[in-house]
Structure 1
Amino acid sequence: MQENKELVPAHDPVMIQQGDTYYMFCTGPGIAKWSSKNTKQWKREKPVFSQAPEWAVKAVPGFKNNHTWAPDISSQNGHYYLYYSISAFGKNTSCIGVAQPEQWRTIASRPRNAQLADSMPGDAAIEEPFIFKKGAYYYLFTSFDYCCRGPQSTYKMVVGRAKELIRPYVDKAGVGLEQGGGTLVMEGNKD
């Protein structure tokens, strides 16, 4: 077993403990995965996906598993759910999926306007899923559109809720997040 005592390259990390082992999942090819017994020394594991999930290739033409974004993990009744974002790198096509040993499905997506050029800000970008439970509902928060572009940034956070962990998540108007829905929570100042 090779242990890494150096800094671990981790973009958008999320961690969970199972028994005496910690697992960290990060943005990277197939979702980067690391394990540790003490959170100081980390071992690189095989990525979550050795090849792109079939649904992802169909939903996002050009997705090649080279960059699977911003994972989040949770457990419910002994089952683990790993949420993640996919897109064709540099394109305005994105979806959010969930991985579970016996289940694969889309839980949030942004329909893309095929008439717009890929450089158009805000058309179909989606990332950073985060889910938590409050009362009888699970809430899925996700980010839409573009960040980090100065005055051209259109980044915003939206939410949907569901009575079951894996779907369907709907916004206030009853539109499913997998159909591009989402209730606005916060957005940048347009001035």
Structure 2
Amino acid sequence: MRWGRLLGSLATLGWAIAGPSQPLLKGDLQIHDPTVLKVADGYVAMGTGYEGIDGGTLRLRTSRDGLTWTDAGHLGTTQPAWVGKLLGQEPPNLWAPSLSRHGSTSYLYFAASTFGKNSSGIGLMTNPALKASAPDQGWVDRGLVLSSTPSDNFNAIDPARIDTADGRAWLAFGSWWDGIRLRELDPQSGLLQKQNSKVYALASRGGGAIEAASLMQHGKYYYLFVSFDRCCAGLSSTYRIMVGRASKVTGPYTDRSGHDMMKGGGTELQASQGRYIGPGGQEVYQDGREVRLAYHYYDRDQGGVSQLQTSTLLWDDSGWPRLPALPTGGS
């Protein structure tokens, strides 16, 4: 009896030390710059399009339980007409989609650009009744939200929307150049708020690698997640997920040590480990009462193919997030 109690105590202690882990996802996980939205009949994920395939349109994955994923094709076969007019050419693919919901409407923001340039634009589509059973159906093109040109010191890509408790909505965006920016949105149309044209600066590395912003509120703080360093290089990628927080959605954001994110600050949340190379391109999403984080990594065991991973966010007593251990067998 005493031995049995001891074994039980050790098992309990071992679990407490190890803690929970991120889920081991299954199925077709090949996606880049993922966004996930929970809908009535499951989950919809979207990612950057494949270059020169299916018009470079956004890729789709669906799941009934958020764990096992299925290839659901792509969103249309042609890019919106405004893309080619804005850029002077149709790019090889569309980038970095972001799904969110306001009321019963689903909002899809996405980026149109070419690698290494800031001649870019962020577009919007809306869907009144998005379903995992038909994720490519019901979308309406709402056109260009905002753009950047070589004369700007920001890059209008990597959009992510947040709806705040005061009924307002905001769009974070930016990549390299002078970092991450924020604009206010009209919550209903999803387009820029005409009464507030101010551009808020949230984070910068002085022209260094920072992108993939995503915002959430937890307790009395807003949290800004970004990716640092090199993306899109397979097993040579050095992407890593960073975070900072602020008392207002417009900032200023600081990391755990108090370092301003406008001066390169950021607390590391996850970096390469084992088979999980270059984690990043992250975005928070609501899963019932829980807020989770979706991101991609380059799978060392598959030669560097980008894969989807999702995770719950854990919070310490100081109100800082952390990610659980990577799935068993991931190192």
Q: TM-score, normalised by structure 1?
A: 0.74
Residue of structure 2 in register with 1:150 after alignment? none
CA–CA distance in structure 1, aligned partners of residues 181 and 121 of structure 2? 14
The alignment-based identity, stated in percent, is 19
Residue of structure 1 in register with 2:161 after alignment? 131
Contact 2:120 2:155 in 1 (8 A): yes
Aligned positions, number: 164
Unaligned 5+ segments in structure 1 are: 114-121, 147-153, 176-181
Deviations 1:166-187 (A, max 9, x none): 1224696x35xxxxxx321121
Residue of structure 1 in register with 2:90 after alignment? 63
1:86 to 104, 109, 112: 112
Residue of structure 1 in register with 2:37 after alignment? 16
Residue of structure 2 in register with 1:46 after alignment? 73
CA–CA distance in structure 2, aligned partners of residues 126 and 51 of structure 1? 21
Deviations 1:107-166 (A, max 9, x none): 1211334xxxxxxxx76632211111121311111114x3xxxxxxx3411111133341
Q: Within the alignment, does 1:168 sit opposite 2:212 as a pair? A: no
**Alpha-carbon distance change, 140 to 103 in structure 1, aligned in 2, over 3 angstroms:** same
**Alpha-carbon distance change, 133 to 12 in structure 1, aligned in 2, over 3 angstroms:** same
Contact 2:185 2:191 in 1 (8 A): yes
Contact 1:34 1:44 in 2 (8 A): yes
CA–CA distance in structure 1, aligned partners of residues 65 and 45 of structure 2? 12
Residue of structure 1 in register with 2:149 after alignment? 111
Deviations 1:16-37 (A, max 9, x none): 1212321110112311101111
**Alpha-carbon distance change, 185 to 91 in structure 1, aligned in 2, over 3 angstroms:** closer
Contact 2:179 2:206 in 1 (8 A): no
Q: Which of the two has higher C-alpha Rg? A: 2
CA–CA distance in structure 1, aligned partners of residues 30 and 59 of structure 2? 10
Residue of structure 2 in register with 1:98 after alignment? 124
SS in 2 for 1:55: helix
Coordinate RMSD, CA, aligned: 2.6
Contact 1:160 1:171 in 2 (8 A): no
Q: TM-score, normalised by structure 2?
A: 0.45
Shift of 1:55: 0.9
Contact 1:136 1:163 in 2 (8 A): no
Q: Within the alignment, does 1:33 sit opposite 2:60 as a pair? A: yes
Deviations 1:2-28 (A, max 9, x none): xx9456122111111212321110112
Residue of structure 2 in register with 1:116 after alignment? none
Q: Which amino acid aligns with 2:61?
A: W
